[in-house]
């Protein structure tokens, strides 16, 4: 499995004293003995969360990305650990430009010079999975070329095997590890990382997101040049904008920051509830600002490798939960959690309500601009652990995106009132969903399908009748068989009873002959009584049906 890699991991874990992250009280004796040599190492970082972040950075890009995924699991870790993991930066030295050229030419099947009139050897950016080069197509369009890092698949597979092994070890040595589901966390990460390796999938996501927002004037997604997209290479339109983290430049350009912040919230809720197709990795590195019209700024989104969606039931329950939060209806929040099976059905709703109230009520006493809605959700997820709330992967992605959006929004406009935008949006969405207009919309959408199925209706009805008849016939046969079985069981019970009675009679006859005190005045009477009892016993045991 790569024993050298495992040894390196163990060495880094030891140097950073990550044993401090394990609970000290529940450690078995053998584990304490095993960790004694580790405790001899000096503590490099006072806080274990800082040590964890530094260790992941030293372990390399795959572990860095894993740490980024872990930072979204605030339902599992304390705030300090999650905040520290969120600091992980995906900054990796670029790989050789000659390798980049070779991958592009091998993937597209022709020399770079026949595709691009200009290709910049120095990459614009380099991350753990891929790097990006600026170029110009022969046709004249400015583009960026994203190239998967060479040999990354092998490296990922090796590190994933190690992670799965570590997860299994953690389950065996730590009693509380089962609550954290380390094996499931690694499996979720495995899916995310392999999705990011497929640039064809990312191109498809970007293309769909572009269609959803084309001509909206709110969110722009660069055009994909499909002729030059493969699994390891993606060519897309080059965009020019201000980084969403560069607040100083936005102020210098006179951007309407309040409008921009509220627009971000609107885009998020529209993606989640109307489009059901949301960009789940909207950190500042993937979001730019178009300030060409400072009073009406808009967003530019790139890197669509991670996309989230919800089931219709999850969307409905989530919307109802959000509205209940806005209205401080804690009983409704508790009831919805049970109804949606996010917590077990046997949960005491009133007890759950009181816990939710204890989390939310202190927050609602603050001015609205000081309330972080994302933090409220995180507190609720953490509190719900007491009630065995199962982690919902699709909600984790949503939570991560909401954290990014709210954090970015408050950076752009510190007085951002998330609910000022979100509450009216959710109320309108629920009205549309439950209103008569939505019913007619559903009917109009399904009408062509229903009409196309009309010719099949008579045959389907006939088949249904045959099924009903067959079921009725089967029911009659089963009823008959059950009746016969009951009769047979009744006969068996009778025979058992007769056998018992006959056995008792034979025993009585035997006693009448053998016992000296039988209650009869003369022996002849005893023999006659025994004969009668014996005859009755034989009759009950062998003759009577």
pLDDT at residue 200, as a whole number: 95
Q: What stretches of 323-455 adopt beta strand conformation (E)?
A: none
How far is C-alpha 267 from the geometric centre of its chain's CA atoms? 22
- The rounded mean pLDDT for the chain is 79
Which ranges of 146-181 would DSSP assign to H, the alpha helix?
152-173, 177-180
Which one from 96, 159, 275, 281 is the annotated catalytic residue? 281
Please give the span between the terminal C-alpha atoms of the chain, in angstroms, as a whole number: 74
Residue 89 φ then ψ, to 5°: -110, 135
Q: Per-residue pLDDT averaged across 465-486, rounded? A: 71
* 149 neighbors 129 (Cβ within 8 angstroms): yes
HSE on the CB side for 432, CA within 13 Å? Answer: 11
C-alpha–C-alpha distance, residues 259 and 299, integer Å: 12
Average pLDDT on 317-327 reads 82
- Classify 447 as helix, strand or coil: helix
Q: What is the mean pLDDT of residues 212-220?
A: 94
Angle at 456 between CA 451 and CA 458, to 5 degrees: 115
Say whether 281 is catalytic.
yes
Q: State the Cα–Cα distance between residues 406 and 537, nearest whole angstrom.
A: 90
What pLDDT band is residue 533 in, cutting at 50, 70 and 90? Answer: low
Q: How many CB atoms lie within 10 A of CB 484?
A: 10
Neighbouring residues of 62: CB distance < 8 A, sequence distance ≥ 6: 128, 155, 156, 159, 160, 193
Strands 287-290 and 233-237 come out as unpaired
CA–centroid distance for 366 within its chain: 32
**CA torsion, ordered 260, 263, 265, 267, to nearest 10 deg:** -130
Helix (H, G, I), strand (E, B) or coil at 217: coil
Residue 520: pLDDT band with limits 50, 70, 90 = very low
- The pLDDT confidence band at residue 518, using thresholds 50, 70 and 90, is very low
C-alpha dihedral, 152 to 157 to 162 to 168, nearest 10°: 140
Bridge-partner residues for 125, per DSSP?
A: 132
E-assigned strands of 423-522? Answer: none
d(CA 344, CA 384): 11
Higher pLDDT, 89 or 20: 20
pLDDT for 85 beyond 90? no
Band of residue 240 on the pLDDT scale cut at 50, 70, 90:
very high
d(CA 243, CA 250): 9
Which parts of 287-362 are beta strand (E)?
A: 287-290, 298-301, 307-308
Distance, in Å, from the CA atom of 410 to the CA atom of 31, rounded to the nearest integer, reads 45
Give the count of alpha carbons within 13 A of 214, CB side only.
9
- Distances in Å between the Cα of 332 and the Cα atoms of 66, 273, 361, 387 are 36, 20, 15, 16
Q: pLDDT per residue over 24-57, tens digit each?
A: 666 667 667 777 777 777 777 678 888 888 888 8
User: pTM for the full model?
Assistant: 0.69
Integer Cα distance of 388 and 432 in angstroms: 34
Lowest mean pLDDT among 110-124, 311-325, 431-445: 431-445
Distances (CA, A) of 393 to 63, 179, 186, 399, 409: 20, 15, 13, 10, 24
What is the average pLDDT across 202-217? Answer: 95
Window from 245-259, 310-324, 513-527 with minimum mean pLDDT: 513-527
């Amino acid at each position: 499995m790569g024993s050298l890699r495992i040894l390196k991991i163990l060495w880094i874990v030891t140097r950073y004293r990550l044993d401090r992250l394990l609970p000290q009280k529940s450690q078995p004796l053998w584990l304490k003995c095993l960790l004694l040599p580790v405790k001899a190492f000096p503590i490099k970082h006072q806080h274990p969360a800082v040590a964890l972040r530094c260790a992941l950075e030293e372990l390399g890009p795959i572990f860095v990305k894993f740490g980024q995924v872990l930072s979204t699991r605030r339902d599992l870790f304390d705030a300090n650990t999650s905040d520290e993991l969120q600091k992980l930066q995906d900054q990796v030295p670029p790989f050789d430009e000659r390798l980049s050229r070779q991958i592009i030419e091998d993937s597209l099947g022709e020399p770079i010079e026949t595709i691009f009139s200009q290709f910049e050897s120095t990459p614009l950016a380099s991350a753990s999975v891929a790097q990006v080069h600026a170029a110009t197509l022969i046709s004249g369009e400015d583009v960026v070329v994203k190239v998967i890092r060479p040999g990354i698949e092998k490296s990922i597979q090796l590190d994933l095997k190690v992670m799965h092994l570590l997860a299994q070890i953690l389950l065996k040595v730590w009693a509380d590890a089962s609550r954290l589901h380390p094996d499931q966390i690694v499996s979720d990460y495995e899916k995310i990382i392999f999705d990011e390796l497929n640039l064809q999938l990312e191109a498809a996501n970007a293309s769909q997101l572009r269609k959803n927002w084309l001509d909206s004037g709110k969110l722009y997604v660069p055009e994909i040049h499909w002729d030059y997209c493969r699994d390891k290479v993606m060519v897309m339109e080059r965009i020019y904008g201000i980084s969403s983290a560069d607040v100083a430049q936005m102020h210098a350009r006179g951007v309407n920051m309040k409008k921009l912040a509220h627009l971000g919230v609107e885009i998020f809720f529209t993606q989640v509830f109307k489009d059901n197709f949301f960009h789940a990795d909207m950190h500042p590195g993937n979001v730019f600002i178009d300030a060409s019209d400072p009073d009406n700024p808009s967003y530019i989104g790139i890197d669509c490798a991670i996309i989230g969606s919800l089931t219709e039931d999850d969307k409905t329950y989530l919307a109802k939960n959000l509205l209940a939060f806005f209205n401080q209806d804690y009983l409704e929040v508790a009831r919805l959690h049970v109804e949606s099976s996010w917590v077990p059905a046997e949960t005491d709703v009133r007890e759950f309500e009181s816990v939710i109230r204890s989390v939310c009520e202190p927050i609602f006493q603050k001015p609205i601009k000081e309330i972080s809605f994302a933090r409220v959700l995180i507190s609720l997820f953490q509190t719900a652990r007491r009630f065995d709330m199962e982690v919902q992967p699709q909600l984790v992605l949503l939570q991560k995106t909401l954290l990014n959006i709210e954090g970015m929004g408050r950076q752009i406009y510190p007085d951002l009132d998330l609910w000022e935008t979100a509450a009216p949006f959710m109320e309108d969405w629920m009205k549309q969903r439950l209103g008569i207009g939505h019913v007619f919309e559903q009917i109009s959408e399904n009408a062509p399908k229903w009409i196309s199925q009309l010719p099949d209706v008579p045959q389907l009805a006939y088949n249904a009748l045959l099924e009903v008849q067959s079921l009725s016939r089967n029911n009659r046969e089963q009823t008959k068989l059950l009746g016969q079985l009951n009769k047979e069981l009744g006969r068996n019970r009778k025979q058992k009873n007769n056998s018992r009675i006959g056995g008792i009679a034979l025993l009585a006859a035997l006693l009448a002959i053998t016992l000296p005190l039988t209650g009869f005045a003369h022996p002849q009477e005893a023999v006659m009584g025994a004969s009668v009892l014996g005859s009755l016993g034989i009759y009950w045991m062998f003759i009577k049906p």
